[in-house]
Amino acid sequence: MTAPHPQTWLEVRPEGLYCRSGAFFVDPLRPVPLAVVSHGHSDHARPGHDAVLATTETLAIMQARLGEGAARRPQALAYGETIRLGDVTVWLAPAGHVLGSAQVVMEHRGARAVYSGDYKRQPDLTCAAFVAVPCDVFITEATFGLPVFRHPDPLAEIAKLLHSVAMFPERCHVIGAYALGKAQRLIALLRQAGWHHPIWLHGALQPLCDLYARHGIELGELRPATAGAKGQARQELAGQIVLAPPGAIADRWARRLPDPVVCLASGWMRVKQRAKQRGVELPLVISDHADWDELLATMRETGAPEVWITHGRDEALAHAAAAMGIRARALALVGYEEES
């Protein structure tokens, strides 16, 4: 019997990607009866669902961020553990994006579709590494789906940061980083590079760093970087590294740090104009998404003859896929944010 093509049992609805044969949604944008959630970022993990299936770590992140709105009936699924939903077998594979992030593998009558969620291929000590899963249809993001985006070695970017710290010991280096994933990865990279001093945190980053620690991710000594009194800088932060949400690095909070060197860790820092617009003195090209070469390599490794693109630079990636002999199309999905 010929395996049914995934387009016969997967469809896009206003809520998001829906599996008809399993009666569940993947990363739905609106409340649904049953959601399989790839990871804890707010554009993928929305509140109000009845039942949620995700990794233990993602469920913990959702609980921490959404509280009672996380899910009425959460169910944890370990990587590689299978569950039967209707006529579909579902299991999760590591996505390498943030703690607990997963690809959703769906198998129906001999056909396999893999929804990647957001993913990266660079090494990251704070989450399980991406695993390429052979499939018939690979559903991928394309946040950095243009040839200009080729991410450098993150340790080389950290070396730039530490060189600047050594050159300007009288200044504080404040780095804009997302609370989930990016902040913890930066801390781990700094430790890997030999920075064993305390790292100072804006209060918005502390809860998820604590959650990572509870899940066995060692981050070393972290201290609160509360701003100094009005009109006064905290001089003890001179020569130190402070992490803060991207929105805080140029506001009044940061101006009370001692002569701060404003940094931002993002794949978009490859674009100099973006760094200039944000007032970034030291751009750090460190991303939690796959770059152009990694997107192409991943399509090859899955062996999928067909690729569906959820969000990002879909036209360029679809063109590149066609040149590789892979059929590609953009899904009409909205609501997933790109790394900003």
pLDDT digit string, tens, across residues 24-63: 999 999 999 999 999 999 999 999 999 999 999 999 999 9
3-state secondary structure of 313: coil
One-letter amino acid identity for 96? G
Mean per-residue pLDDT for 286-299?
98
Whether 338 shows a pLDDT value over 70: the answer reads: no
* CA atoms of 101 and 230, how far apart (whole Å): 40
Residue 339 binned pLDDT confidence (cut-offs 50, 70, 90): very low
pLDDT of residue 278: 86
Whether 5 shows a pLDDT value over 60: the answer reads: yes
* CA atoms of 141 and 235, how far apart (whole Å): 43
Handedness of CA 207, 213, 214, 217 (dihedral sign): positive
Collect all residues with Cβ–Cβ distance below 8 Å to 133 and sequence separation of at least 6. Answer: 93, 103, 105, 112, 114, 302
* CA atoms of 246 and 250, how far apart (whole Å): 8
What six digits make up the tokens of 276? Answer: 């200039």
Q: Which has the closest alpha carbon to 294: 77, 166, 149?
A: 149
pLDDT digit string, tens, across residues 145-182: 999 999 999 999 999 999 999 999 999 999 999 999 99
Mean per-residue pLDDT for 296-314?
94
3-state secondary structure of 150: coil
3-state secondary structure of 212: helix
